[in-house]
Chains A and B, each alone.
Chain A
């Protein structure tokens, strides 16, 4: 039998820039010279010709301007030529009409903003060709107007940048709940099930928790029924978040758990939605889910099953239909709702007792850790609010696409405008490709493995043993500012189990002995502040492959919020004033910490950058797909 296989089908469009970046980056006069040189069979520049003009011209109906080039003595040419071309409106000039700059903090002027505009758009406007005008504080656009005498622009033409709604309104093909306001602060987590790289890490919009797959094959996928993302639980496993009693325990507080679910069958005994439950619990629990298709909330009050209580709906749900389900505690009353309709009530509720165990979505585990009651079906949205019972009475579910959530999503990648002060690419040497003078010192255990870098450079590997040295750089760098550290790291081999690896990635050493550092250990990032104190521990299960992973620490000095990203996904954030005290950074150390010498045997590190003055990443972003420079 004959057959045909297909592995992929890739479609490409060949797209041309009306004006090249390199051309637009030149001053207007040089643009004209460059264009003249394009089809001339001689070098045309200030060494070979002089140029007069531009002047208005009418000789050709479609060319409004002329300049005159005259060959200079000694150039090997002689004579003059009049060139006709059209100066263009400003509106035709910018390939990207969006406003790319941040809102202006204070009142300023067009001329004061020109350097930033030039850098952002790769152009080279001068104050001589653009009219000056005041720009009010908080402006997210400006209007440019061309002055007379510009080589490129029509006098009087104007152009106003626009900020597209897409920049400030998320467009996620997922479902979600009505915007949280006024309960944003009380929302513990809000899962949106947006596409992720692996499909096995759940994105908490609040960035408080990273639910990772514990067992099985459940994943964030597109539901063919509606084309929207959701968590597809396949009856063989569950997702888990770390134990966190402080912020998660309901105790005597009001709370709300709400979800959109769809199950293919109501026959299974349970469809667990969200719970802190050990099946044979002796240490307290609560669980929200379906019991043979009926909505159910179970809890214990003193840590034993003997005092567990539950409220269960009388009727089962229908299979293959999506429902809004919720449980809301208001004072001593717990109510459960299906599509906003009250289906069960429990009164005289006291303190809900919860012991130390992990939180699960889509299943629970027995005391041995084995999965029990793994659900089969879809969870399309899931939110937990603590301190507020959102639904004291029947309500109309307001599940709406998250497009309505106004969130600023700044997509930032590596680009020349980032101007990283420290930029290591290990392209055959240890030199800093950034502008900061740094003196590398290399221990004998350090090597660059060609081809192991993310882009053009190699991968840094410390193949020494304990107590062998690091790669260090002596520097003199004031880092008392916002800053972003980002780098790529990959396993040496896909099969390496890095969960147990104790690995220091980098250390910023200050003048007074202070160190800011990141360590990877036991599937978590440990972040150390300048006092050497562990200021945050952020779970980060490493994917089971040897792909390059992009990791970033983005530190905002103003509000002291520090965020850690893994492949562009916000893993966690914390607030610390001790992450930006390095008035003088004297040394950068890679692959070990002074007192914890553990070599970088399991990883390659590459494309390492420190950008000063910017907390580049504030929300999920697309990891850089181009080299650092």
Chain B
């Protein structure tokens, strides 16, 4: 009897990617570009379209799982400690917790997320963990022996039709995990990276070679099935590209010191707590707009752009709740305004996000040409 192993429709849709891109609904994206290297023990990374945090249970806490030093574009962040780890306990590993349910549409047949990794000497048991510590991508399922600096992209499909999670590594299916009591529908489902058991790597013996292991995370995106007549398949490779600010102007915005212009200030992602200048708007009341354009030169002319989001870093001070209202304008056209709570009490808070905007003000897909015409207007309110 023929075993129905293919979704014929899905297959054909995939192949049409050669001519026509598969559709997807992008919900969230995260990059670690803004993690300050002297941020100490800051453990929360927010404002990139989704929130992630270091996870540790408060005991058996190793010391090294911190943001990588140095900040530059296109770099992997958040690495493990490359010092010797003799006893690797559960959650000692790089445990980046991402709330999956907050970033996916659980009503769709399929949701996906993709993450780029760089691993170095991962122990065979090192896993991406689903809720309740179910391993869904174990190193031993796609890595043989000891590897140095192995980069890959993992596409994870939460398939609610089949009640299973499939993980593809660089487009190859490597692991399928049936759901246990349909946990994917639980609102608290999370993604973690670590182990589901205590593993003694030791300082000698066959496992000692893994005691210098490390994991880096790069960009992560979440996307859902669009609900049309085909099932969404992995979309392939992607990048999160920063578009610098150009021609910034801010009525009512001032900053201390001389030299840097407003454009420079807004492009100056701080490396640490002292190398930045802060523009200030006094008495925000909706009359102090900050506007700027986007430098689209990092994009290829024919780039397939899925969405645009903006991150503001700063603070509302001496006030209760302040909001920012952000609008992407393209000539006379404007996107729906994004009202963003803007209360970042700590001096070096990481930022405040806007949701991903998937279409231009003209309500068509973003293109490089459209982005070149966009001005971003931000108004502060009290």
Does A428 make an interface contact (CB < 8 A)? yes
Contacts of A88 in B (CB 8 A): 18-19
Contacts of B31 in A (CB 8 A): 12
Q: Is the CB of A6 within 8 A of B290?
A: yes
* Given contact pairs A4-B280, A41-B162, A85-B15, A13 touches B366 in the complex (Cβ within 8 A): yes
0/1 per residue, B117-135, Cβ < 8 Å to A? 0101000000000000000
Q: Is the CB of A1 within 8 A of B282?
A: yes
Does A86 make an interface contact (CB < 8 A)? yes
0/1 per residue, A93-108, Cβ < 8 Å to B? 0011000000000000
Does B299 make an interface contact (CB < 8 A)? yes
Does A625 make an interface contact (CB < 8 A)? yes
Task: Indicate the member of B7, B18, B281, B300 with the most A CB atoms within 10 Å.
Answer: B18
Does A427 make an interface contact (CB < 8 A)? yes
* Given contact pairs A2-B322, A3-B284, A9-B312, A15 touches B176 in the complex (Cβ within 8 A): no
Does B168 make an interface contact (CB < 8 A)? yes
Q: Is the CB of B306 within 8 A of A63?
A: no
Q: Is the CB of B75 within 8 A of A15?
A: no
Contacts of B39 in A (CB 8 A): none
Does B240 make an interface contact (CB < 8 A)? yes
Task: Indicate the member of A41, A222, A625 with the most B CB atoms within 10 Å.
Answer: A41
Does A81 make an interface contact (CB < 8 A)? yes
A22–B114 alpha-carbon span in the complex (Å): 15
Q: Is the CB of B2 within 8 A of A78?
A: yes
Does A87 make an interface contact (CB < 8 A)? yes
Q: Is the CB of A4 within 8 A of B241?
A: no
Q: Is the CB of B236 within 8 A of A10?
A: no
B88, chain A: closest CB distance, angstroms? 15
B326, chain A: closest CB distance, angstroms? 9
Does B332 make an interface contact (CB < 8 A)? no
Partner of B304, one of A15, A217, A456, A458: A15
A34–B283 alpha-carbon span in the complex (Å): 58
Does A225 make an interface contact (CB < 8 A)? no
Q: Is the CB of A626 within 8 A of B75?
A: yes
Does A181 make an interface contact (CB < 8 A)? no
Does B166 make an interface contact (CB < 8 A)? yes
Does A574 make an interface contact (CB < 8 A)? no
Does A77 make an interface contact (CB < 8 A)? yes
Q: Is the CB of A5 within 8 A of B314?
A: yes
Does A433 make an interface contact (CB < 8 A)? yes
Does A466 make an interface contact (CB < 8 A)? no
* Given contact pairs A2-B319, A3-B284, A14 touches B307 in the complex (Cβ within 8 A): yes
Q: Is the CB of B241 within 8 A of A22?
A: no
Q: Is the CB of B236 within 8 A of A17?
A: yes
Q: Is the CB of B18 within 8 A of A86?
A: yes
Q: What are 29 of the A-B contact pairs (CB < 8 Å)?
A: A1-B282, A5-B317, A6-B312, A6-B314, A8-B267, A9-B290, A10-B242, A12-B310, A13-B241, A14-B309, A15-B299, A15-B306, A16-B237, A17-B239, A18-B17, A18-B304, A23-B237, A41-B7, A43-B172, A60-B12, A79-B3, A83-B11, A83-B12, A86-B18, A433-B148, A452-B69, A456-B118, A457-B82, A458-B82
* Interface residues, chain B, with chain A CB atoms under 8 Å away: 1-3, 5-8, 10-21, 26, 29, 31, 33-34, 48, 64, 68-70, 72-76, 79, 81-83, 118, 120, 148-149, 153, 162, 164, 166, 168, 170-173, 176, 212, 214, 216, 221, 231, 233-245, 248, 253, 259, 261, 265-270, 276, 278-284, 288, 290, 292, 294, 299-300, 303-319, 322, 324, 342, 351, 356, 366, 371, 376, 378, 380, 382
* Interface residues, chain A, with chain B CB atoms under 8 Å away: 1-23, 34-44, 60, 62-63, 71, 76-79, 81, 83-88, 92, 95-96, 152, 217, 219, 221-222, 224, 425, 427-429, 433, 450-452, 454-458, 548, 625-627, 629
